[in-house]
Amino acid sequence: MRRARRTKILATLGPASDNPEMVESLFKAGADVFRLNMSHLPREKLKERVEMIRGIEAKYKRPIAILADLQGPKLRVGAFENDSATLVKGQSFVLDDDMAPGTSERVNLPHPEILSSLEPGHTVLVDDGKLRLRVKSVKPGFAVTSVEVAGKISNRKGVSLPDTVIPVAAMTEKDRSDLEAALDAGVDWIALSFVQRPEDVAEVKKVARGRALVMSKLEKPQAIARLDEIMEISDAVMVARGDLGVEMPLEKVPGIQKRIIRAARRLGKPVVVATQMLESMITAPVPTRAEVSDVATAVYDGADAVMLSAESASGQYPIEAVATMNRIAEEVEQDQSYWSIVKTQDAEPEATGSDAIAAGAHQIAETLHLKTMAAWTSSGATAFRLARERPNATVIALTPNIHTARRLALVWGTHPIRTKDASDIDDMAFRACKFAVREGFSEVGDRIIIVAGVPFGTPGATNMVRIAFVNSEHAAKA
């Protein structure tokens, strides 16, 4: 199941893809990572979904990454007397702590932490920005707003606060329970929604204790304002363009996307571009030209992965959506301008031994036009560093740790393989060549470059580069 592309595909599972046959078809069509959306997946069904994916993993002997996406705090207005009300531009509208049904003049906002955090001038967006309110005054228990964008407001519509830092953690009690269930089920990545500050990420990492890596979803202006701090503590990031496009001007989102991708590249951390990538394929068998360009742009920018949400979770054409994304990524990566664009974003290596080794191995591979780089890695750090260089060679990540192999399924250009650790330097070179042939990346007569750490099995000890020739003995053992 080797892929003819380096960019990975992340597919969300849902009602349209909740059986083994469909998930297997999505995997065969190109999905490398499966997302379980805890906003919609009952906790008691989580383990069943994970086991279903692990069954496919065992059948194809290919590591598959599983991402559990926590719901995060959902801010909503209360209910209305007649289920809805119509607001007029310029009128006053009150958000309060009164539990009585709402009217065209007021509604309950069952989040006291919001009412205490609002300030005059702050914007309140309702129903994905379809209504916009501006705070005029705040008193204990209520806030008076002016309606700037009018329309119909109905029961329990979502609330977004682009100007307000809410003094609540990104994890709710539901998220805590979901997180423990996800960790117990053995997922590989945890996506944290509505991150505002680095402390939000630290809280999840404290609970995870390395059992899964943490991906921060960047979807709030507050997160963009503290981007460097959040990216530093995160294991990966997601450009969650849905809420980001609600809370920030739409025209700013493309620039923010590029900024996040470049920052992630600089830090050597995976970055996923998500939301509405092939949205029209929810109901149509082919995407729009604009959607194709959108996916292509993320691939040209060097994103580690592109994500499908409703397209694969509840759409009418989930397999076609994955296959289409697969074809787009393959075509872009074969374009003659692809590498020149990717190389413009190369970052200077940090002053560490691991970075120096990775940069040196990349330079050797480029100079000798090598097709394959083999990284012996226990924690995955060596493969992460090599992928950061965006080499024009496949990175075969050889690891004795199945958890590491699965996590690396998300990483650009990386082909993870679980195998026993090398016993010595000769074994390291022999088996690296053997796997390169077996997986179809090298042939007899080729050279490959091998990166490892001595002593073997020591995390973070990357200190060796070796060039090896693939011979007939490697092919015979493959």
Answer yes or no: do 365 and 426 share one domain.
yes
Q: Are 278 and 12 in contact (CB under 8 A)?
A: no
Residue % of the chain over a pLDDT of 70? 99
Two structure tokens written together for 245? 């496009």
Last residue within a domain, chosen from 305, 337, 369: 337
Assigned domain for 2 exists: no
Q: What does the block give as tokens for 248?
A: 């920030």
pLDDT at residue 352 in the model: 83
CB 32 within 8 A of CB 409: yes
In a domain, 345, yes or no: no
pLDDT at residue 457 greater than cutoff 70 = no
The reply to whether 332 and 374 lie within a common domain is no
78 within domain boundaries? no
- Where among 160, 188, 217 does a domain terminate? 160
Query: What span, in angstroms and rounded, lies between the C-alpha atoms of 345 and 8?
Result: 19
196 falls within a domain: yes
Q: Which amino acid is residue 110, in one-letter code?
A: P
What distance in Å separates the CA atoms of residue 299 and residue 236, rounded to the nearest whole number? 17
Query: pLDDT tens digit string along 36-73?
Result: 999 999 999 999 999 999 999 999 999 999 999 999 98
First to last CA, the chain: 16
Residue 3 lies in a domain: no
Cα atoms in the Cβ-side hemisphere of radius 13 Å centred on 260: 35
Q: What is the dihedral of CA 220, 224, 228, 231, to 10 degrees?
A: 40
Mean pLDDT of 449-469: 84
Give the count of domains, the chain: 3
Residues 55, 109, single domain; the answer is: no
Amino acid at 417: I
User: Is residue 223, in this structure, part of any structural domain at all?
Assistant: yes
Q: From edge to edge, which strands make up the β-sheet containing 414-418?
A: 414-418, 394-399, 372-376, 447-453, 462-469
Question: 137 and 94 in one domain?
Answer: yes
Q: Cα separation of 361 and 352, whole Å? A: 14
Q: Does one domain contain both 368 and 432?
A: yes
Tens digit of pLDDT for each residue in 237-293?
999 999 999 999 999 999 999 999 999 999 999 999 999 999 999 999 999 999 999
- Looking at 93, 126, 160, which one is the last position of a domain? 160
- Whether the CB-CB separation of 383 and 391 falls below 8 Å is answered with no
Q: What is the pLDDT of residue 349?
A: 80
One-letter identity of residue 106: R
- Considering the entire predicted model, what is its pTM? 0.93
- ∠ CA 126-132-137, rounded to 5°: 105
Q: Is the pLDDT of residue 355 over 90?
A: no
pLDDT confidence tier of residue 126, bands split at 50, 70 and 90? very high
Do 227 and 277 share a domain, yes or no?
yes
Centroid of chain to Cα 301: 15
Q: Tell me the C-alpha distance between 416 and 438, whole Å.
A: 13
**Concatenated DSSP letters of 350-417:** PSSHHHHHHHHHHHHHHHHT-SEEEEE-SSSHHHHHHHHT--SSEEEEEES-HHHHHHGGGSTTEEEE
Question: Per the domain annotation, does 346 fall within a domain?
Answer: no
Q: What is the pLDDT of residues 390-440, one digit of tens each?
A: 999 999 999 999 999 999 999 999 999 999 998 899 999 999 999 999 999
- Residue 138: give the domain boundaries: 84-160
Residues annotated as catalytic (active site), given as ranges:
35, 76, 217, 275
